[in-house]
Amino acid sequence: AETPHKSMVLAPVKELQKKYAPDKRTAVFAVTTYERGKDLIVVGEVEQESAKKELFDALSAEYPSLIDSVTVLPDSDLGDKQWGIVTVSVANMRSDPGEDAELGSQTLMGSIVRILKKKGGWVYIQSPDKYLGWADPDQLIRVTEQQAKAWDAAEKVFVTAYFGFVHQQPNESSFPVCDITGGAVLKKIGQSGEWLQVGLADGRTGYIKRSAAIDLRQWGTAVVPVPERIEAAGRFLMGVPYLWGGTSPKGVDCSGFTKTVYNLNGLMLNRDANQQAEQGEPVEPGREFEHLKKGDLLFFGRKAGEGKSERIVHVAIYLGNRQYIHSSGKVQINSFDPDSPLFNEYNLKRFVRARRVITSTPQMSEIKMQ
């Protein structure tokens, strides 16, 4: 059984965990304590030196003898290369360091990520949307902060084509350097006619059609996130298979679909459905969903009540006329209308609430390197 001392120690640890890492998917504060005689051994990882100081200040009030085994991330073992730039079309982020671990999320080519630690040939990264996961280091290039800033400042293009290739030569019959998906960011080297010469962060170069990308500097102004474009981006992904953890046109889970659609329209959504449910503004849908607008996010799961808390497990994009588009098995359209052939009774019963994000979510052009 736990001793009274142990429970007293755990209280400040839990309080600080709520302060510094209220969501374990996006922040690190993982600390365990052990008593050994009069000593208290403190083991774990935190992201900020200030968090560690506050932790030890709180614990020292009860235990004058503390043994420090807390690492402040990024781990010093990384040296000065504590950043990474993704060099494949879609880099997988897993729950543990191994190919058989759960796929939690993905991050796209050209994204700058923080590297926090390494283990067993894998690196623990934080993507631009702050999501944490283990990545294969062969899918990115490790860089210094200065090199990351240089990539951040370089002239780049944002890929708007859903699928494609970087070709070795400026013609479509030449072999590829790599594949690309919508949302990729490439360095712009030059242009000739209908072709752009582009570069990856690892030094590889090649060519893409000018029509496949837009200048990243223009992205925030040239791409206006209007409802019709949100709908079009969603419809262009019709039939794409459901993939747990997927966030690219190659495969999407429910929130990966909404994230991808909005990403292609210049807006960054959080990674998971219950995180997206905190973005934007609440909308009262009305009995017949008459107050909803095209592009609103719809959230499904369990409403709060009868001693149970709300639980959001699914998200969709409203299209109007009581129809919505979402990833469930595949990207498809369903309806709240019982008379429609697209009616889905299960989703109608588990609908919880709606949010409007078009006017209140950060645009991509405003999001710089962390």
Angle ∠(178,180,186) on CA atoms, nearest 5: 90
Residue 342 backbone zone (phi > 0: left; psi -120 to 50: alpha; other: beta): alpha
Write down the pLDDT at residue 221.
Answer: 66
Catalytic residue among 5, 178, 291, 326: 326
Return the number of other C-beta atoms located less than 10 Å from residue 262's C-beta.
25
* Cα 120 to Cα 175: distance, rounded to the nearest angstrom: 34
Phi-psi group of 41: left, alpha or beta (phi > 0 → left; psi -120 to 50 → alpha; rest → beta): beta
Domain 154-221 of CATH type 2.30.30.40? yes
Residue spans in the chain of domains classed CATH 3.90.1720.10: 227-356
pLDDT at 4: 41
User: For domain 227-356, is the CATH number 3.20.20.100?
Assistant: no
Nearest CA to 91 among 126, 63, 118, 117?
A: 126
The rounded distance, in Å, linking the Cα atoms of 54 and 58 is 6
366: pLDDT confidence band, cut at 50, 70 and 90? very low
CATH of domain 78-150: 2.30.30.40
Q: Is a pLDDT exceeding 60 seen at residue 364?
A: no
Which residues of the chain are in CATH 3.30.1340 domains?
4-72
Residue 247 class from Cβ within 10 Å (0-12 exposed, 13-18 middle, 19+ buried)? buried
SS (H, E, C) 246-306: CEECCEECHHHHHHHHHHCCCECCCCCHHHHCCCCEEECCCCCCCCCCCCCEEEEEECCEC
For the chain, residues classed under CATH 2.30.30.40 are 78-150, 154-221
Which pLDDT value is given to residue 5? 46
Q: Among the options 5, 167, 178, 314, which is catalytic?
A: 314
Q: What is the pLDDT of residue 1?
A: 40
Which pLDDT score is estimated for 8? 44
Catalytic position from the list 5, 167, 178, 254: 254
Examine the residue annotation and report whether 178 is marked as an active-site residue of this protein. Answer: no
Q: What pLDDT digit, counting tens, does each position of 146-164 carry?
A: 999 999 999 999 999 999 9
Most distant CA pair in the chain, distance:
75
**pLDDT for residue 75 is more than 70:** yes
**The pLDDT of residue 198 is above 90:** yes
Per-residue pLDDT band for 365 (boundaries 50, 70, 90) equals very low
Q: Is 79 left (phi over 0), alpha (psi -120 to 50) or beta?
A: left
Mean pLDDT (whole number) for 20-42: 92
Question: Residue 10 — very low, low, confident or very high, per pLDDT cuts 50/70/90?
Answer: confident
Q: Is the pLDDT of residue 7 over 70?
A: no
Q: Is 167 a catalytic residue?
A: no
Structure-token pair, residue 275 = 């995180």
Q: Prior bond to 97 cis, omega within 30?
A: no
Query: In 3D, which of 370, 110, 364 has the Cα closest to residue 220?
Result: 364
Cα separation, 261 vs 234, whole angstroms: 6
Q: Specify the pLDDT at position 37.
A: 84
For 191, 193, 261, 262, the CA distances from 91, given in Å and listed in that order, are 27, 31, 18, 19
Task: Confirm whether 254 is a catalytic residue.
Answer: yes
Arithmetic mean of pLDDT over the chain: 93
Average pLDDT (265-283) is 95
Residues whose CB is less than 8 angstroms from the CB of residue 211 and which lie 6 or more positions away in sequence, other chains included? 161, 194
CATH 3.90.1570 is the classification of domain 4-72: no
Strand partners, 122: 119
Beta bridge partners of 141: 85
